[in-house]
Structure 1
Amino acid sequence: MDTDSFEQARNQALDIVGPIDTGSWQRRQGTMESAVDTFGRDTGFTATSGGEYRSFRLDTDGRIGPHINVMTGKGAAVRKWAIRFPGGSISTWLRRNV
């Protein structure tokens, strides 16, 4: 999915995530040492919505560019989206929006 701005991507991702179940929100940090922009930094969150697992994570790579990864469900029922937005680095958004 492509969007015209980070804000559009974020809003689209949050629409997919849906309302968060009370007390289920947990901060998510970058875990790949090779990912200089995100390693050890808060990159998103995991939670449940209606009892179903949800994940929201800022990411960037050479093939897709800056994007938000959204995942709903687990196992055979998992659904995944990469919502792209224009730009080069996600560092600005890591400081502001997660």
Structure 2
Amino acid sequence: MEFEIKKYVISHMSNHGNTRHFIKLYDENEHRGILRFIDNGTTLPEPTMNRRGYITLNYYQEEFINVINTLRYEKPLYCHFLDHDVNHGFISTSREDVGDEE
């Protein structure tokens, strides 16, 4: 399962357990997934996808700026969920030419 990320909303959390930030992901019209950033060193939950295809990916806090920079500077971007032996999720670019200067 995958969708193209067209829009996003960043939330900085206060007093929300070990979650420090959320990034809500949207296609053209619909809220399709969320990236959760939790305290470094805590147990990282597995990614999930519900029956409607809503994807939740979990990252450590230390990855927040890297993910923000990817959202800012790369296009197109995709959110993926793979349900094999172990749930696996990620965001990615598409195939790009070398030296694209992004």
TM-score, normalised to structure 1, is: 0.39
Q: Point out the structure with the larger strand share.
A: 2
Structure of higher RCO (CA pairs closer than 8 Å, 6+ residues apart): 1
TM-score, normalised to structure 2, is: 0.38
> Between Structure 1 and Structure 2, whose CA radius of gyration is higher?
2
